[in-house]
Structure 1
Amino acid sequence: MFTQYIYHLINNFDQKKTIDQLQSIVSTKEGSIGLVTAAILMSGVALYKSSRIDRGCPQIPYNSILGSTTEYRKDPEAFIKKWNKELGPVYGGYLFGQYATFVSGPQVREVFLNNDFDFLEGIRRDFDTLLLTNGGGRNDLTTEMVAGGIKKNLSPKLGQYTSRVIQHLQQGLFEQCGVVPDEGKEFYHVYPLVQHMVAKASASVFVGPELAKNENLIDSFKNMVLEVGSELRPKPILEFFPNVMRLRMWYIGKTSRNVKRHRDQLYAALMPEVDYRLNAMKEGDSNWERPDDFLQDILESDGCPPHVDIYTHLVNWMTQLIFAALHTTSENGTIVLYRLLDNPDAMEELYKEQIQVLEESGYDANVGPEVFTREILNKFSKLDSFIRESCRLRNDYYGLPHKNVSNKNITLSGGAIIRPGEFAYVNAFSNHRDENLQKVIEDVSTFKPFRFVNQDRNSTKIGEDFIFFGMGKHACPGRWFAIQEIKTVVSLLIRSYKLSALEPVVFPTIERNQIPNGRFKLVPRK
């Protein structure tokens, strides 16, 4: 079998020999044709077998040996609306090189809360950060360890980190904009501005204010995900063959110059500081003041595997945090700001809300954003509604794959059967636009910024109607930090500037492009 050959390459050869063999295969016309031919044959066999199994739910007809992926990629919204209407809330189909069940409506809860489904195994099929970043063995730094660290050392401390975050967001803003003249300043895109601000603020929390001054470290916090992830952009044919994709991720992790550069930068930035801290802790230095950051919490956790040196362990930690938090927060902050640019009247409503909350808290109406606290940010209910609505109407379609990791069939309440090793995908597009689930929402496909005000449905509250952060034991543990950071970015910008779009904002509808586009302008508030 082709897959057995791939695993044989990984497991039975040393790194250099494996890479040499792989290069020799893919660098020749015959080798490339052989890989593609074998993969297509495997796909055809899997498709044939899948069509002969009772699935307990309606099926999307297979139009080709590669299933329905091409039709879905062309227009995912039309694809979902078509098959939801014809087949109902739960159905099966052959997409992304595999048979999968696509679940919407209340039954998504059964996917999220069933322990025989594993989201982490599902996501690793196409994006395994440990393989992609040469991050060591799976047991060296488990996802449970990362999630536990965030729950223990990040979320409970958001209040005490707020002033630090604001300070570094302001620094990042100034580094990107400089002094904005009275007539304003134009920008090509929102993302670079938000990306730099988020990198500065996140670094101040993860590694401390001093290390947040290190330009190379900030470069990795900003660009590691984009530069390494760009190497994984699916080759059209490889998407259908997950074992080849996993080999490709492993190959990138072992050979990529981007991976090496960013790991080296993190290592060089962390090593002197870690040595200093470890020595101060060991010697009981009375002049040493314990740093209050995530790095120090990790150092004191005593979780470094015995076969991994402390520097590599910490680089692996920071890499996982960067991939889990930095790009997603920057991306979602960008989406919120583009919604704001597209709704200028809402921007002034949010500014008025700031004034009202600040005055009720005893501050002058003209005070700067440095007075924001977690408590004040949480009182911005219109802003919170704006963020939730922006996330609800993102162009998310089929996602959050969950793999059946048990040795038995899983049967959903509607009758759909997910066999061992198969995947259930959550249909976020449908749930976020389901009139029955959304209840108080009218015009479910229309962006209405303040529809959640006074509805007890804040932007971190998860449920069947809002699955943006998942649900159950694998719901995003960092969502409180991410939302607070986005709230602070938006609040700081509208406190100091008037933002205006210089051209119509373009919101993407294809699945692989989440970020809107459009030039904009900042003008200082008088």
Structure 2
Amino acid sequence: MLTLVSTSAIASPSDLIRVAVPIGVGIASAAYLTMKAMNKYDSSNADMPIPTVRIRPGDTSNDAEYDEDNDLFLARCEEEYGLVFNCSMKNQYLTVISGSLVREIFMTEELNFMDAVDEINGFRTFETSVLKSKHGPDSREIHEIVRDDITPFLPMFIPRIMEQLTTIVDDQLGHCENKLIEKPLGIFQDMVAGAMANVFMGPKIAKDPKVIDSFIQCTYDFAEVVGKDNNKKFWRRFKIRTKYGYMNPLQKHVRILTDAAAPVVLERRREETEAAENGVEYVRPLDILQRLLDNFDKYGFVDLEDICGHLLILVIASVHTTSDSSSNMCYYLAAFPECIDTLYHEQQQVLDQIEKERQASRQKKLESGEVVTEQGFEDTELDPKNDRDLSTSAIKRMVYMDSFIREILRCRTERLSLAHLARSDVKLSNGMVIPKGRQVHVNIRSVHQGFDNQDEDPTEFRPWRFVGKPKSATKISKDFLRFGMGRHACPGRFLAILEMKAIGSVIVSKYSKIEIQDRSKTKKALFCELGIPADTGLIFTSRH
């Protein structure tokens, strides 16, 4: 398979065979052995100093060397300095944690992820400016909403999600032969935004084009406010928090959602009151809006606008990242065309098996007399017309699709990420101390592409690497940190992976071939940074 180590350089055509310099596996240098010895904790010794990475001659920080080749830079640092080292990067002095010590970052409460996010992009100021109900910095309210009000209901949402995804694909791609889509991310944004609007707000509100547009646009407005400038941290925070506090463009999206939801909520209240008066049970709508209305007091909401503010945060946390990852998945399908047939054949085998099981269930009911004729199954759970639906059960059985997605996330993940901020001095098990106020970044390369953590050829993309292994795309482990680890692990990963599987299933069922418009940009497209679309399009050819 294609070796996918380096994440920054633009590949030439020959790079499609081997696109990066392999990480050395020979005898470690004397410096490496020295630092490894330093990283072994001896309780009898005083605190160990954290080594600092030297800056390349001619540079003012480590940024340029890192940007030229993420993996090569980090491999050098690991070899020369060990598992813990300081860098001058991202306009600050930060600490990088690698390998076996990474777990300590997620298990130490004094190293806080949200504190780091707030320092980087002022998220808490944004959050408090769109929410009326106020919560402390360690509030787990959003986590609880996802855990209790979204994840348990995912199987019931799948039919609506699949219908929405299929409709958009048919409308925007349709049946085609070598159809060029120059900016495919837009299609996946529409797919994800449409599906999420249906799940979050309900089918009726999701038909409002303003709502769909807000689900897409709010993430860009958020990114525009946060920005990616080179200001010093103090001025950066001042600029961001001033904008969030007084000129937050996201307020308009809260108003759009509130205006769209208000008449629907009033109608639901009227129907609920009418049902109570008539002594019948009110059938509650299946969407997250209704779940939050039902749990109004539990979460301490102030009003409908407050609920819509919370929904907006969920949108920002899910729509953009899922549509970006789904678009990137299609570039992998194009770069590895043999995967499309494998995934399609698996899909057909799964649907064949489910169809047989449903036929057997119907036959059993007919023989027992529970159902008299075949017509008795119409509009029931065993209606034959639904035998080959891409249901939750079908998607769960697609182990090759699951492995394919997990491997993409393993390879593409940004090499320095999952920043945490030290709330106090933190002593690691090797004796080194992270000072209060220091940002700590996880060296994902040492985990996802490290020979100590993966099985074989960790620098290569192997789509079926996890088939037959207890390592699903949603499973967090020491060798897969795409969604973090521990009690603060991303609670929305189940929704994100389910939607990626659904999108992948729709695409391979309808298209037999996907090609990258400019093949010389293959590697750059596969590793494009989150939020920055690939600068080459995709060419689609229908299956039938």
2:266 corresponds to which letter in structure 1?
A: D
Q: Give the one of 57, 82, 104 matched to 2:50.
A: 57
Instruction: Give the 3 Å change call, closer, same or farther, for CA 513–320 of structure 1 in structure 2.
Output: closer
2:286 alignment partner, SS class: coil
Determine whether 1:291 maps to 2:291: no
Give distance in 1, aligned partners of 2:207 and 2:530: 33
Look up the match of 1:402.
Answer: 420
Look up the match of 1:243.
Answer: 234
Determine whether 1:483 maps to 2:483: no
Give distance in 2, aligned partners of 1:349 and 1:341: 13
Q: Give the one of 171, 175, 178 matched to 1:180.
A: 175
Contact 1:130–1:138 (Cα < 8 Å) also in 2 = no
Look up the match of 2:445.
Answer: 429
Contact 2:351–2:388 (Cα < 8 Å) also in 1 = no
Residues 465-474 or 95-104, more deviating:
95-104
Q: Give the one of 72, 89, 92 matched to 2:86.
A: 92
Instruction: Give the 3 Å change call, closer, same or farther, for CA 395–457 of structure 1 in structure 2.
Output: closer
Percent identity over the alignment is 27
Residues 254-263 or 196-205, more deviating:
254-263
Determine whether 1:261 maps to 2:252: yes
- Cα distance, 1:92 vs structure 2: 1.6
Cα deviation, 1:144-167, whole Å, max 9, x if unaligned, reads 111101101111111111111101
Give the total of aligned pairs: 463
Look up the match of 2:372.
Answer: none
Instruction: Give the 3 Å change call, closer, same or farther, for CA 285–429 of structure 1 in structure 2.
Output: farther
- Cα distance, 1:341 vs structure 2: 0.9
Instruction: Give the 3 Å change call, closer, same or farther, for CA 332–305 of structure 1 in structure 2.
Output: closer
Look up the match of 1:523.
Answer: 541
1:151 corresponds to which letter in structure 2?
A: R
Give distance in 1, aligned partners of 2:118 and 2:449: 28
1:448 alignment partner, SS class: coil
Cα deviation, 1:173-227, whole Å, max 9, x if unaligned, reads 23423x434x353211321111110111111111111111110010011121123
Q: Give the one of 184, 187, 190 matched to 1:190.
A: 184
Matching of residues 247-326 of structure 1 within 5 Å:
247-254=238-245, 256=247, 258-281=249-272, 284=276, 289-303=283-297, 309-326=302-319
1:245 corresponds to which letter in structure 2?
A: R
1:250 corresponds to which letter in structure 2?
A: R
Contact 1:404–1:423 (Cα < 8 Å) also in 2 = yes
The 4+ residue runs of structure 1 with deviation greater than 6 A are: 63-66, 367-370
Instruction: Give the 3 Å change call, closer, same or farther, for CA 362–512 of structure 1 in structure 2.
Output: closer
Instruction: Give the 3 Å change call, closer, same or farther, for CA 304–207 of structure 1 in structure 2.
Output: same
Give distance in 1, aligned partners of 2:273 and 2:531: 49
Look up the match of 2:158.
Answer: 162
Determine whether 1:414 maps to 2:430: yes
2:355 alignment partner, SS class: coil
Give distance in 2, aligned partners of 1:94 and 1:342: 35
- Cα distance, 1:384 vs structure 2: 0.7
Instruction: Give the 3 Å change call, closer, same or farther, for CA 145–85 of structure 1 in structure 2.
Output: same
Instruction: Give the 3 Å change call, closer, same or farther, for CA 97–131 of structure 1 in structure 2.
Output: same
Residues 93-102 or 343-352, more deviating:
93-102
Determine whether 1:329 maps to 2:322: yes
2:406 corresponds to which letter in structure 1?
A: R
- Cα distance, 1:128 vs structure 2: 3.4
Give distance in 1, aligned partners of 2:191 and 2:434: 43
- Cα distance, 1:235 vs structure 2: 2.0
Contact 1:140–1:305 (Cα < 8 Å) also in 2 = no
Instruction: Give the 3 Å change call, closer, same or farther, for CA 251–520 of structure 1 in structure 2.
Output: same
Contact 1:66–1:95 (Cα < 8 Å) also in 2 = no
Residues 318-327 or 167-176, more deviating:
167-176
Cα deviation, 1:405-433, whole Å, max 9, x if unaligned, reads 24xx2111222211222222111122100
1:189 alignment partner, SS class: coil
Residues 478-487 or 135-144, more deviating:
135-144
2:226 alignment partner, SS class: coil
Contact 1:198–1:329 (Cα < 8 Å) also in 2 = yes
Determine whether 1:68 maps to 2:62: yes
- Cα distance, 1:270 vs structure 2: 1.9
Structure 1 portions without partners, runs of 5+: 1-52
Contact 2:180–2:537 (Cα < 8 Å) also in 1 = yes
Q: Give the one of 127, 134, 152 matched to 1:139.
A: 134
- Cα distance, 1:452 vs structure 2: 1.1
Instruction: Give the 3 Å change call, closer, same or farther, for CA 226–369 of structure 1 in structure 2.
Output: farther
2:404 corresponds to which letter in structure 1?
A: F
Give distance in 2, aligned partners of 1:206 and 1:456: 31
Instruction: Give the 3 Å change call, closer, same or farther, for CA 305–520 of structure 1 in structure 2.
Output: closer
Q: Give the one of 442, 459, 463 matched to 1:449.
A: 463
Determine whether 1:462 maps to 2:485: no
Q: TM-score, normalised on structure 1?
A: 0.81
Matching of residues 380-391 of structure 1 within 5 Å:
380-391=398-409
Contact 2:335–2:522 (Cα < 8 Å) also in 1 = no
Determine whether 1:494 maps to 2:508: yes
1:360 corresponds to which letter in structure 2?
A: Q
Determine whether 1:221 maps to 2:215: yes
Instruction: Give the 3 Å change call, closer, same or farther, for CA 443–176 of structure 1 in structure 2.
Output: same
Contact 1:55–1:417 (Cα < 8 Å) also in 2 = yes
Give distance in 2, aligned partners of 1:511 and 1:489: 21
Q: Give the one of 505, 518, 529 matched to 1:503.
A: 518
Instruction: Give the 3 Å change call, closer, same or farther, for CA 150–473 of structure 1 in structure 2.
Output: same
Matching of residues 370-389 of structure 1 within 5 Å:
371-389=389-407
Look up the match of 1:346.
Answer: 339
CA RMSD of aligned residues (A): 2.9
Contact 2:331–2:538 (Cα < 8 Å) also in 1 = no
Look up the match of 1:78.
Answer: 72
Structure 2 portions without partners, runs of 5+: 1-45, 359-384
1:361 alignment partner, SS class: helix
Instruction: Give the 3 Å change call, closer, same or farther, for CA 118–130 of structure 1 in structure 2.
Output: closer
Contact 1:497–1:524 (Cα < 8 Å) also in 2 = yes
